[in-house]
Structure 1
Amino acid sequence: MTRLCNLPAGWRMNGHVKSMHFQQFMEAAATFLFLLLLMAVDSSRPAPVRENLQCGNFLQQMLRQTRVINKESADLIKLYKASQGEMPEFFCKVAINDIPDPKISGLQPAEKIASISTHLQAFFPHLKWVYEQQTDLQLPTSPLLKALTTVRVRSQWLVPIINNFYQSLFPNLSLPEPAGGATTLPPPQNVFQQKIYGCVVLKTYKEFLSNVSRELRNLKNVCKGTTAISMHFF
């Protein structure tokens, strides 16, 4: 005991450090082995089972993301109206040309998913234009600008999820590109027109998201073998 206590401090710590390094190595090795085991289990499944699980996962992700954006869009509309001063409700229901149709078209799953994708991307330029208009009307610290950015970014995240879902269902097909060329934005507007345009865009987009959620619930059985998994989230 005396000899051990008389050892230099650095020497006494070396054993402790080595022990910590060995423990960290063992933990890393255990994690690595666990990942290998998961990969082995997944690879042992038949290809159709793996594909069905992927399909179900992408469908769940789409629904979760759409629900979040749908709720945030409802809050965004309230914030937008409060930020514009006096604005009667009927102003937000005015018919404006070139705003995307909120309805989902198509009869077959492939057509419906393609419609969701193309309509979603058609809204992006309008959401961006509403944001740019409001930067001239609001203070830089306005909660409205932050809320508009959040909805736009989350909506853009939804695109690759839709693409993955489509490819999991139809691996030999490519998702159609948005048709119609460049999106037509409104001509120069005065402040009053900008306020109406922004409200109509946000209300229409909210309606589109509600339609997407309904269509996704109708597609819950499209991934064969994943009904039980999907039902937990629907």
Structure 2
Amino acid sequence: MPWNVKTLSFLLALSQGLFIQCLAHVNSSTAPCRGCHRNSLDKITAKTRHMEKEAKELFRSYLTHQGLLTSELRRLCDEAIQWFPTENITDQPKMVMLQELYRTLVHMKDALENIKKQQQVLSTPGAALLGRLESTQWAVRGLLSNTFCALCLKGVLPNSRRTPERPAVTNTFQQKIDGCKVLRNYSKFLEKLARGSGKKAPQALRDQRKRRKGTKRKEGSLHS
């Protein structure tokens, strides 16, 4: 039995609606990754090694500017902070490692903002420490962006799982110690990260060479 005009119009409208819904779903799932590059993981490895050196320099600069160079005061800086991973996250599966890295960097970004605000009051304008803090802020934001892209391209939208905010500290000495703890833990975190990435880099290069050899063999068999 032939379909009438109303039936055909209904089916056409239905198919168009389904197509639009499908297109909207695809666009919504890919939109967050716009501007992301496929080599985000390589950027993370390279950036981490550079940031490790800067973190050590920032910590030393902070100790000097805040008068925390004595061994007794420096020991106070070694206290662990709950949002820094206790283990080396590079030992985890790649996706777990990236999510932990993202979560830690979100907290670090907020902590750096607090330290900078404190130092704008405690330090003299133009102090070298303020410049180092600002440089570190930009580096953390860049690494955070690379980590987001690496996760996004794998189809994962990260969740930072923020910790409850602590009451604002008004005691100047305690502010100095809190900042010292953050920067010390940050330096140790990057040291582990760079060391773990360095161990995995040679294996990644070997895997890449194997893939290239396999591709060449396939191309050779096709032409023979």
TM-score computed with the length of structure 2 as normaliser = 0.65
Max Rg structure? 1
Aligned residue type for 2:75 = F
Query: How much has 1:60 moved relative to structure 2?
Result: 2.5
User: 138, 153, 157: which is aligned to 2:138?
Assistant: 153
Aligned-pair identity (%)? 23
Shift of the 215–132 alpha-carbon distance from structure 1 to 2, 3 Å rule, reads: same
Query: How much has 1:149 moved relative to structure 2?
Result: 0.6
User: 100, 103, 110: which is aligned to 2:84?
Assistant: 100
Query: How much has 1:227 moved relative to structure 2?
Result: 5.2
Residue 68 of structure 1 is matched in structure 2 by 50
**Cα contact 1:109–1:219 (8 A) shared by 2:** no
User: 107, 118, 121: which is aligned to 2:103?
Assistant: 118
Structure 1: gaps spanning 5 or more residues: 1-53, 229-234
Q: Distance in 2 between matches of 1:83 and 1:164?
A: 36
Residue 217 of structure 1 is matched in structure 2 by 198
Q: Does 1:195 align with 2:176?
A: yes
Residue 12 of structure 1 is matched in structure 2 by none
Query: How much has 1:91 moved relative to structure 2?
Result: 2.5
Q: CA RMSD in A?
A: 2.8
**Cα contact 2:151–2:158 (8 A) shared by 1:** no
Mean CA deviation greater in 206-215 or 66-75: 206-215
Please list the CA deviations of residues 123-165 of structure 1 after superposition, one character each: whole Å capped at 9, or x if unmatched: 1111111111111110111110010010111110112212333
Query: How much has 1:198 moved relative to structure 2?
Result: 0.9
Q: Distance in 2 between matches of 1:182 and 1:94?
A: 18
**Cα contact 2:40–2:147 (8 A) shared by 1:** yes
Q: Distance in 1 between matches of 2:204 and 2:156?
A: 18
Structure 2: gaps spanning 5 or more residues: 1-36, 211-224
Q: Distance in 1 between matches of 2:143 and 2:113?
A: 16
Partner SS for 2:77: helix
Please list the CA deviations of residues 184-218 of structure 1 after superposition, one character each: whole Å capped at 9, or x if unmatched: 24532311111111111100011111122233335
Query: How much has 1:70 moved relative to structure 2?
Result: 1.1
Q: Work out the number of aligned pairs and report it.
A: 170
User: 78, 81, 103: which is aligned to 2:63?
Assistant: 81
Q: Distance in 1 between matches of 2:205 and 2:158?
A: 21
Aligned residue type for 1:215 = G
Shift of the 86–200 alpha-carbon distance from structure 1 to 2, 3 Å rule, reads: closer
